[in-house]
Structures are given as C-alpha cells and as structure tokens.
Structure 1
C-alpha cells in the first residue's frame, strides 16, 4: 500500500469520527456525549478511537480546527484576489464567515455551551491563539492593501489585525452571555444588534475607515440573525 493511500485512509477514518462527534455534540451536547457513543455508531474499538484522538478534549479541539480550516478555505480566495479592492475584501471576509456560522447554526450553539464554560477557559485560550495565528496574517494583508489604496489609515496593519480578532472574540463572549443567560426566554435581539453595531464602529475606528461603511454592510447580516434567533 502506497503512502498516499495510507494517508487518505487515515484522513477518511479520522473525518468519520469527527463527523459523528459533530452530530452528537449537536444533538446530545458535548458533556453528554461519550466516546462509547462514537464507538457504537462507527462499530470501532476503543483502541481504534485512541489511535486518532488521545482524549475527548483532543477530539473537540480537532473538530474546532477542522471548522477553522473550512473557514480558511472560504477566506483564502478573497484575500488572494488581485481584482478586488481591500475594503470589499474585508467586507466579503466578514460576510462569508458569518454565512458559514449561520449554515452551521446548531453546531455553533452547541460549541458556545462548551467553549465559554468556565472549566474550559484554558482550552478556549489555546483555540483563540490558534485562530489568531491562522487569520491575523490574512487580515493584515488586506489591511496593508487598504492603506495603500487610501481606504484605511492605520499605520499598524499587523496590530490592527490582532485587534480585529480581539474585538470579534469579545463580541462572541457578550453574545454567548446574553443568549445562554436568557436561553429559557426570548433573547433580547435588539441588544444583540446593538452589540454588533458597537463592534462594527470599533473596527472602523481601528482601521480608520469611513464611518458607517462596515456597520451598513453588516445590517443585512443583523437581519438574518434576527430571523434565525427570533
């Protein structure tokens, strides 16, 4: 058996475990899901499972990493485009990532409950740093292009990229706090919209964009989230 065939088989089996884990996390919740659930669903041994993942948390991290890789594949064609202006690139990146979340809404909400649990603070920090490492260079590239085109005025593209990710992380925190605190009731959609608008305003200031450009482009996304969460 050639090396390429072995790699393909390994990837295929590993992805099969991740697919089942994603389904159970969505339907049962991460805490309620057990490795035994996965073994029974795939008819594999415990040894086979540990060949691919050393622990349940390693499985979760791999699943989040796979989602990150999928998101990166959506972003890369936008960043590398030679025809698209920088501001259009930035707006498009936000739009495709937002759409990706909306298309996987059940999994996103399931991850929220795990991601922001107090006992997973270290895990969350590791994933945040991994996300910065993955996305900051692409954002910095767009920002650098924008400064050359005169639509962004920040002289610090690398730092601005990290600030953007930090602001989006904070938006995630506050959104989860609001949604999970009011999970048994109707969420305060107007408050969520306000949080999004405040983040858009802060991002515009970090980049030195024309005021309102980002918030205006996000208005359609706000409307979609309102419909999904209502």
Structure 2
C-alpha cells in the first residue's frame, strides 16, 4: 500500500502531536522514537527528515507550545493602555486561559510533575522565560518612560520576574497535586504565595505600592476549588 503523502508542516505537526501524547502518558525518558514511528505508521527516514533526535523533537514540542501561549499575549502590547494597565492585563489574561482550560492544565500538571518528566518541565519553564522576557521588557521600558517604574535594567528585571513566576507556578502545581492537601489550606497558600509575588514585583520594578493587580485573588481561590474538586472527584468541596 502506498504511503499517504502530506504537506511537510502537517506531517511535522502530526509527529509532534504523537510525541506529546507519548511523553504525557509514558514520560519522556520511557518513550522511544520507534514508539512514535509505529503509532503513525511512518518510515524512520520520515522522522529524521524533520527531527535530528528525540531531544530535538522535545525542543520543537516545547517551542510550539510556548509560541502558542506567547502569540495569544502579544496583542496586549499594542493596546492603548499605560504600562501598569498592560502589566496587569498580561497576567490576568494568563489567569483567564487557565480557568478556561482547566482540564488541560490538570493533565499538564499531572504529567509535568512526574519525576520522569523533569526534563520537560525544566525546558518548558526556560523556554517560557526566554519567550516572555522581551514582552515584559517592552512593558517595563514603557513604564520607565511614563515614570511609574523605577528600574534601570528592564530586560534583567523582566527575566527575574519570569524566573520567580516559574518558581511560583511550580510551588502551586505541587500543592494542587498533593493528595493530603485540604482545600482550605490550598487556597490559603495559593493566595499567600501570590501576594508575596506581587510584593516582589513592585519592589523589583520600583512601582508604587499596591499598583499592580496582576492576579485577581478571588479568581485564584475559585481556581483552587475547581482544581481540588476535579482532582479528587468530589461533588462538595
């Protein structure tokens, strides 16, 4: 039987989609290139036409995922807003995405925090920092010009905030997945960590106190309830 010929971008994305499924189900280390080839019914040469190795495939999967997230946030840079409004809008948009795609995020949390997927998690965070830093830096530069931020190193400040944010995400992710975590404690710790991050943001940027509202705390309390309920499959939380 003749093999189906597909456009390069379609075939490449099919391979990435299959890899994502295997990486999530089996873990990166436990997935072989042969697993992916067999699942798609393609020749080994087809795989190596698009990817040099499994690590190259992982890099391109992470790049595609982070690019999709960043693309959804870029329009905020061109909105008619001052820097603080843009900063708040940027982070609040991420919260909305999380709330709208809670089932996807739950699967991602479960997979990303497996020991065998440590390499995926580290690479994902690094790629997010690299891609979002220029966006943050642009907003910080605008804030410096407007006189609302007081930090002479916008790019370094943006990268530092992204790194702290990645650490916050990991802390919250581990809390959400902890089997013995109570809803009350989960919501309390999430809000506490977010308040600490807000304070760090304002100090690093030299922004007026209480000017940043990048997280809507009521939304995060509601998100904690949603995560808790779905993970534990309870009707009443």
TM-score by length of 1: 0.77
Choose 127-136 or 190-199, whichever is displaced more: 127-136
2:142 is the alignment partner of 1:145: yes
* 1:167 matched residue in structure 2: 164
More helix by percentage: 1
**Pairwise mapping of residues 5-154 of structure 1 onto structure 2 (< 5 A)?**
9-26=7-24, 28-31=25-28, 35-81=33-79, 83-112=80-109, 115=112, 125-154=122-151
CA distance in 1, matches of 2:99, 2:19: 20
Change (3 A) 1:123 1:216: closer
Change (3 A) 1:86 1:62: same
CA contact (8 A) 1:91 1:217 kept: yes
Q: Deviations over 1:166-205 (max 9, x none)?
A: 210221232233234x146556232122112211221122
Choose 156-165 or 102-111, whichever is displaced more: 102-111
* 1:204 matched residue in structure 2: 202
CA contact (8 A) 1:71 1:100 kept: no
CA distance in 2, matches of 1:89, 1:51: 42
CA distance in 2, matches of 1:61, 1:113: 20
Change (3 A) 1:61 1:99: farther
Structure with the larger RCO, 1 or 2 (CA within 8 Å, 6+ apart): 2
* 1:177 matched residue in structure 2: 174
CA contact (8 A) 1:29 1:110 kept: no
Equivalent residues, number: 221
Q: Deviations over 1:115-137 (max 9, x none)?
A: 55666666655554443332212
CA contact (8 A) 1:136 1:161 kept: yes
What is the Cα deviation at residue 156 of structure 1? 2.4
TM-score by length of 2: 0.75
> Aligned-pair RMSD on alpha carbons?
3.2
Give unpaired runs (5+ residues) of structure 1: 1-5
CA contact (8 A) 2:95 2:215 kept: no
Choose 107-116 or 217-226, whichever is displaced more: 107-116
Give unpaired runs (5+ residues) of structure 2: 229-237
* 2:221 matched residue in structure 1: 223
